[in-house]
Structure 1
């Protein structure tokens, strides 16, 4: 019992931290993963980490108040990592919004079950694509390394993060637009060229219905450019997620 009790307490605290990380990010929420599967995954991963890191086990029996305080601290630590991950996913959302507005898909809305609100078509598609890109670019491996480092820096039952600079997160969040634009820059440029050509055509042919002609043309151009660009966009995609993890390292060091 003397060995089992610290293991169980540490396991429960790490499960809280992992639950916040996966619950506050689109890693699981974007696809219909059953809640029971999510819970089993979180508890299994927490058990594996607890068994692999015995030197970080809680070494004393906490009271009810102390245990509540530890749970709150674990939720804050997991929330910090989740916030940095969401910065990378937000870049995809910004890039999709740029294209949606340019080609006119912002007019048509679809219901997004993740955000519980109306979302333009490409924004909904990009939300699913961002999760797939997160796994394809090995972002999950970086996430596991970041989580283990966070455990080493702030073990379960500790007083919290010894070093945390919120200003780093604020400055990094300001670069979201740049990261989102880099994801779709060639597509935006192609649509801008079409818009410039339509503007010149409208001046020479004032009776032409620019809206009726330009909308389908911009949609075809935008989707064609997007289909040609996305297979070659591995570098900006990796940079979007890499910048979010870089913010995490810098904010706690």
Structure 2
């Protein structure tokens, strides 16, 4: 018995899986160290098999032409797919990093910045609210099925940037700048109300110090700001599911637009 190997299908699955693996390495919630690498590869191969007809339909080169052509052609195509996957994953990571950045802003203004510790999930130093918000966002991504929206956006990227097409540096730059701008705006939107309250508390303590210098109001400022942060921070945490859902929609639109 002889088996006929479809070189066009092999090429499509190989190129699509490289982009998907590179994406899963850096994109949340799959980028954490606790997520096994073998599972990432299995997810990428499964998705590549599922979307192979769609990828073939949108490809800009004839199916199987790269494998039957020069070696440099297939190597260059694999490198382009890996770079695209990393770029899209990094853009999505920047979008969801808004939650961690909002927690970091709350730590700075609320007086928790001194209590920094190593975060094994992100591999960086973070204070209380920074780590708490980020871990909560990762959990909510699975609880609210936001990860499915992220994967769907990755699938749509094959329509925006077909397999075999070149990589646009202008599009890649706009993708990164768009993700960075969304990061800053979303972080301020999440932590903004609490930061305003903490700023008003500082203003009130400053006025109280001017009126009654003997009270040493700034010595009372640290426990007061910590109390305000713990009280209002828990209230702001209730809006985090809607925030994660909105960020997932933003990540989907970012990837659907392509690089």
Partner of 1:113: 120
Of residues 74, 77, 93, the one that matches 1:70 is 77
Evaluate the alpha carbon distance shift between residue 7 and residue 191 of structure 1 in structure 2; reply closer, same or farther with a 3 A threshold: same
Residue from 30, 49, 70 that aligns with 1:28: 30
- Deviation of 1:161 (Å): 4.8
Distance 1:144 1:28 in 2: 11
Check conservation: 1:15, 1:42, Cα contact below 8 A: yes
2:224 equivalent to 1:217: yes
Q: Does 1:202 align with 2:204?
A: no
Displacement, 1:229?
1.9
SS across alignment from 2:238: helix
Task: Give me the TM-score of the superposition, normalised by structure 1.
Answer: 0.83
Q: 1:59 aligns with which of 51, 58, 64?
A: 64
The alignment of Structure 1 onto Structure 2 pairs a total of residues equal to 251
- Structure 1 residues 65-214: aligned runs within 5 Å: 65-156=72-163, 158-161=164-167, 165=171, 166-167=173-174, 169-170=176-177, 173-214=180-221
Q: CA deviation at 1:242?
A: 3.2
State the alpha-carbon separation in 1 of the partners of residues 161 and 178 from structure 2.
Answer: 24
RMSD across aligned positions (CA): 2.9
TM-score by length of 2: 0.81
Consecutive unaligned residues of structure 1, counting only runs of 5 or more, are none
Distance in 2 (alpha carbons) for counterparts of 1:103 and 1:86 = 25
Within the alignment, does 1:41 sit opposite 2:47 as a pair? no
